[in-house]
Structure 1
Amino acid sequence: MTASIAMADVKRGTLTLFAVACGVMVANIYLCQPLLAELARALGVSADRAALVAVATQVGYTLGILFVVPLADSSDPVKLVRWMMSLTIVGLLGACVAPNLAALMVASVCIAATCVVAQVLIPLATTLAGPQYRGRIVSKLSTGLIMGILLSRTFSGLSAQYLGSWRVPFALEALLVAALLWVLPRYLPKRPAGKGIGYWPLLKSLPPLLRHRELQVSMMLSFCTFAGFSAIWATLAFHLSSSAFHLGPAAAGLFGLWGAPGALLAPYAGRLVDRRGADAVNLVSLLALIVCFGLALSLGATSLIALVIAINLLDFGQQSGQVANQARLFGLSAQIRGRLNTLYMVVTFAGGATGAFIGAKLWTLAGWAGVCWFLAWVVGIAALILTISHLTQRDSKAESAR
């Protein structure tokens, strides 16, 4: 973080390392996306069956968030992170040797269920500085997260195409996680995040947290936008390999790199949250996504340049909305942030799994246009949710002032 953010008892460079760790670990969920067309050919399966690997990773991540991330409120972060990263490495090595689609899906669920380190680090990081910096802290780590998502696709596509196998990205990622495992624990606070709360009581404490309006709004918005985001990315490799472009996994992977500028605008979204509130940034997010839809549907059907611009808008829209949503719910009690983030991310990645599944089916039934219209549909629902929430909050404040 910048020097203006004072953090006591924390090593220099901690937030930067946290951001890198978020990127490296979340990359595990998206390695498969540029490889889907190649996987379908190599394993002799249809496009919609190959896309189930992307669905499996979203489901695995959801399970990891639900059953692992709550431990962030009661466990020693050092031990928790070490165990998660070690198991991720085991899963990646399993994916390297998977003989068929079923084995690869099982390995993908295992990888995703244990690579939830970012969802432990983000709420932990918000406790390292004052609340006036919450939006900027979330945006810095979220930038690392989204850069991991984007660049993982570039890394995966290029390494698979030029090193000769779809298995190579999984082996290389295992090496990256192993290097991070050696460094990251030294920068984590060596103390429990909470005391006296057992695992099952933690899980039982989750449903009552759903009463918080801030959490409800953030979850619904994120479910919708991440469903649209995942539908586009889960089918982009098929679109690029179609007769419109005739491109391979390297080109699909490069879209992660070409879409990175949209993600780099995330710190500005964090500052805007700190000044204007989360609703304003959610509105900007939805506007970016609807412009993305229009461009992807029209010019993006045949033009690479238009598709690159659309992907930048998609990445910016999703990332800025994520920053706003998490800043909104992290404004609640620090003692429950890990569990709030658990519920939020479970719903977010449930949206991602839903979007990837529906996107694959729509690709088979209606092609690229069907996927784009799905994005428009979920953005419209999100806009309705945001409007109702804003009006309800305004009426509530007016009633309180009387």
Structure 2
Amino acid sequence: MSQTASTGIAPSGKGASRGLILLLATTSGLAVANLYYNQPLLAEIGRTFGASSNAVGYVSMFTQIGYALGMLLFVPLGDIRERRTLISLLLIAVALSLVGFAVSPSLLWMYIASFAVGITTVVPQIIVPFSAQLARPEERGKVIGTVMSGLLFGILLARTVSGIVGDFFGWRAMYWIAAALMLLLSVILYRLLPLTKPETSASYKELLGSMVQLVRNYSTLREASLIGACMFGSFSVFWTSLAFYLEGPPYHYSSAIAGLFGLIGVAGAAGAPVVGRLADKVAPKRIIGLLILLTLLSFGLFGLSGLTIWSLVAGVIVLDLGVQGTQVSNQARIYALEPAARSRINTVFMVSTFAGGALGSTLGSYAWQHWGWSGVCWIGGGLVTAALAIWAVHRIIYRGAGLA
């Protein structure tokens, strides 16, 4: 009996099975969480090393720079390598990087370990195009939405879990736990994932070069990548600064309470499958414009958070729904461009997205240190406004050319 038959989770002949999609969604969430454990712990890490908020904010920046580079180097391999083995090896690599973070004796060491964690935590971006490949065309948006919900749950719940663990056991404990989880996942996935065949026979060098051609060929990919960078940049501006804001007046919350705001954001993440289903039925281009406006509203709500905590809570929900919904809608569009190149298309899109995230982390720390919370809100809102301008200009140009 073949392995895929014995696991009971192999894709069916009519598309991806529910069991397989749930496994992929869970894996995406647990893996991507490694990038975000640091955010509610930044204030505590800063106290450990006697560092300023600006200096310790580079921890998040180096993680996301590493992630962008890891996607550029490793994710295209999903088109030319057997995915099960690739995923398992990367999980082992990130486990070692997490151990390096846990034993950091200095902030410089932590910068290096953060970069290593980022460059090896690319499994979710191999999984997302894999799930799109397994799905029937009419269900692709729904399947991507489900997997992306798992991914966003990981992003948000990572903050909740790390805030609580950091409060009770210290920030280092969180990274030892994460390393153990990655090793366990590597074993489980190697046993349960179905074998896959490469989708192209191109060499690695040809594969990397072809991504430049993909960017030239598809205006939709260019637009989606720029919007993704701006939207995730705004997302990072907020989450990098939140722990510093909450520990000061008027709230004086601990890292555990700061982490709980990630749990609030789950309400927004839960809307991703709904957005995915809409993208199967309505032109994603229209949905994206509405979601960008929704995200802009969230920064208006954050600006009112000094008056009431409920504005902050509502803003978190709206922000996560807007950013996640935009990403799912964009992915539904770009994966339909060239099916055999989905891993490379996803690489272009996600490298751009997380490059924007790295910039957002840096801008968020800088804005907080120099202008406080109002500066954070203006910078985050400005990035969302840039995304709206890109969406509008692209729509005007290509509608005029009869291509919109």
Q: Per the shorter chain, which TM-score range?
A: over 0.9
Cα separation, 2, equivalents of 1:176 and 1:378: 35
Cα separation, 2, equivalents of 1:205 and 1:37: 42
Q: Determine which of 339, 342, 364 is the counterpart of 2:344.
A: 339
- 1:108-123 correspondence to structure 2 within 5 Å: 108-123=114-129
Does the 8 Å CA contact 1:37/1:238 hold for their aligned counterparts? yes
Are 1:33 and 2:13 matched, yes or no?
no
Are 1:132 and 2:138 matched, yes or no?
yes
Partner of 1:266: 272
Are 1:319 and 2:321 matched, yes or no?
no
Cα separation, 2, equivalents of 1:10 and 1:230: 32
Cα separation, 2, equivalents of 1:7 and 1:29: 35
Are 1:24 and 2:36 matched, yes or no?
no
- Counterpart secondary structure, 1:331: coil
Cα separation, 2, equivalents of 1:371 and 1:220: 21
Q: Deviations over 1:312-352 (max 9, x none)?
A: 11111110000011111001111111001001111000000
Does the 8 Å CA contact 2:16/2:135 hold for their aligned counterparts? no
Q: Deviations over 1:48-68 (max 9, x none)?
A: 001100101110100100111
Q: What number of residue pairs does the alignment pair up?
A: 394
Amino acid at match of 1:382: A
Are 1:215 and 2:213 matched, yes or no?
no
Cα separation, 1, equivalents of 2:266 and 2:307: 21
Partner of 2:205: 200
**Closer, same or farther: CA 277–166 of 1 in aligned 2, 3 Å:** same
Deviation of 1:377 after TM superposition, in Å, equals 1.0
Partner of 1:159: 165
Amino acid at match of 1:94: G
Amino acid at match of 1:35: L
- 1:353-368 correspondence to structure 2 within 5 Å: 353-368=358-373
**Aligned-pair Cα RMSD in Å:** 1.7
Are 1:64 and 2:81 matched, yes or no?
no
Deviation of 1:145 after TM superposition, in Å, equals 0.5
Deviation of 1:11 after TM superposition, in Å, equals 6.2
Aligned identity (percent) is 36
Deviation of 1:393 after TM superposition, in Å, equals 2.8
Partner of 2:4: none
Q: Determine which of 251, 254, 257 is the counterpart of 1:251.
A: 257
Question: Where does structure 1 lack aligned partners over 5 or more consecutive residues?
Answer: none
Amino acid at match of 2:187: W
Does the 8 Å CA contact 1:139/1:266 hold for their aligned counterparts? yes
TM-score under structure 1 normalisation? 0.95
Deviation of 1:275 after TM superposition, in Å, equals 1.1
Cα separation, 2, equivalents of 1:9 and 1:376: 40
Does the 8 Å CA contact 2:61/2:361 hold for their aligned counterparts? yes
Deviation of 1:395 after TM superposition, in Å, equals 2.4
Question: Where does structure 2 lack aligned partners over 5 or more consecutive residues?
Answer: 1-10
Amino acid at match of 2:297: V
Cα separation, 2, equivalents of 1:157 and 1:205: 42
- Counterpart secondary structure, 2:269: helix
Q: Determine which of 15, 26, 34 is the counterpart of 2:21.
A: 15
TM-score under structure 2 normalisation? 0.94
- Counterpart secondary structure, 1:196: coil
